[in-house]
Amino acid sequence: MRRTRTALATIAIAVAGLGTTAVPAASADTGWETVTSWAGGRAKVCAASNGNGTSTVRAYWDGRKYPTVSGPFVASGAAGLAHVADDFTISGWTYSHSDKGTVGPTVSIQRPSNGWVYVLSGSQVGITVETVLPVRALATCPGGSRVTVQAGRPAEVAAPRAAKCVSKKEFRRIRKGMGTGQVKRVVGFAGAVVTKAEYSAVRRYDRCGGGSVVVNFKRAGKGKALKVDSRYKG
């Protein structure tokens, strides 16, 4: 977490130096969706199709109700986006940061419309909650075009059945609130950790017939067990 703390602290200084924050118009809020949150702050995210197989993913930190807890380094918070490669390597973080009670600037990245995107909430103490989800699962940005993906799987993912993979039936049996052990019993294997933070963990599982299943786990509080918050296939 040392590198994470340093990065967010640097961003905090840089953004604070600008002296202004870009607040999305009130009418635009209907097209923004909370993807991750922490201590009353929310990472608001949306996506818009570029019409060429790619999409623009946007995010901003809504700190108007942050923080709701006391402690060091909670005077400021951040939302973040990052790229997710085909092998689920995460890179290219960008952050929307603001002081408590304010809204941060809107940041954006370009992603394949049929790809995945990483979203975080955090502060100068580090990253607290992370989620990985398909771009197509995001809300449509105000004034933007809906992200659509052609039906059927790309040829490159039409692979032979993996030795350990998640079937359609097993995917449906993964329910919100399940622990990591329960998910393992349902699918028959532990999967691979994509990333983990103080209050979350993301695991990837091979999908039978090709592709991936991603399960996002979250903690209800410090010391609490990880529980399924969402799951996606792609």
User: What's residue 36's pLDDT?
Assistant: 96
CATH code given to domain 2-137: 2.60.40
Q: What is the CATH number of domain 155-233?
A: 3.30.1450.10
Percent of the chain at pLDDT > 70 equals 78
CB 116 within 8 A of CB 130: no
pLDDT digits (tens, 9 = 90+) for 109-137: 999 999 999 999 998 768 899 999 999 99
- Sequence-separated (6 or more) residues with CB below 8 Å from residue 87: none
Determine phi and psi for 111, rounding to 5 degrees. -135, 150
Residue ranges, CATH 3.30.1450.10, the chain: 155-233
- pLDDT for the residue 68: 67
Does the pLDDT of residue 151 top 80, yes or no? no
Question: Which SS3 state, helix, strand or coil, does residue 171 take?
Answer: helix
Pick from 64-73, 98-107, 184-193: least confident: 64-73
Q: Is the pLDDT of residue 205 over 60?
A: yes
- Rounded Cα gap, residues 142 and 46, in angstroms: 8
Evaluate if residue 148 carries a pLDDT over 80: yes
Residues facing 84 on adjacent strands = 90
Q: Give the tokens for residue 20.
A: 């202004």
pLDDT reported for residue 227: 98
Instruction: Specify the higher pLDDT residue, 23 or 72.
Output: 72
**Which pair of tokens denotes residue 77?**
């918070």
- Range of lowest pLDDT (46-50, 85-89, 103-107, 151-155): 151-155
Calculate mean pLDDT across residues 25-45. Answer: 78
pLDDT given at position 18: 25
Sheet strands side by side (includes 212-219):
192-197, 200-206, 212-219, 226-233
The gap from C-alpha 55 to its chain's centroid, in whole angstroms, comes to 16
Q: What is the DSSP letter of 145?
A: B
Residue 57: name the closest of 131, 120, 118, 128 by CA: 118
Higher pLDDT, 150 or 137: 137
Mean pLDDT across 185-195: 97
Question: From CA 185, how far away is CA 57, in angstroms rounded?
Answer: 35
In the chain, residues under CATH classification 2.60.40 are 2-137
Mean pLDDT on 75-95: 95
Query: How much is the average pLDDT of 139-157?
Result: 73
Contacts of residue 128, Cβ cutoff 8 Å, sequence gap at least 6? 38, 39, 120, 121, 122, 197, 198, 199, 200
Q: What is the pLDDT of residues 60-69, one digit of tens each?
A: 999 999 876 6
Closest CA to 24 of 4, 44, 1, 48: 44
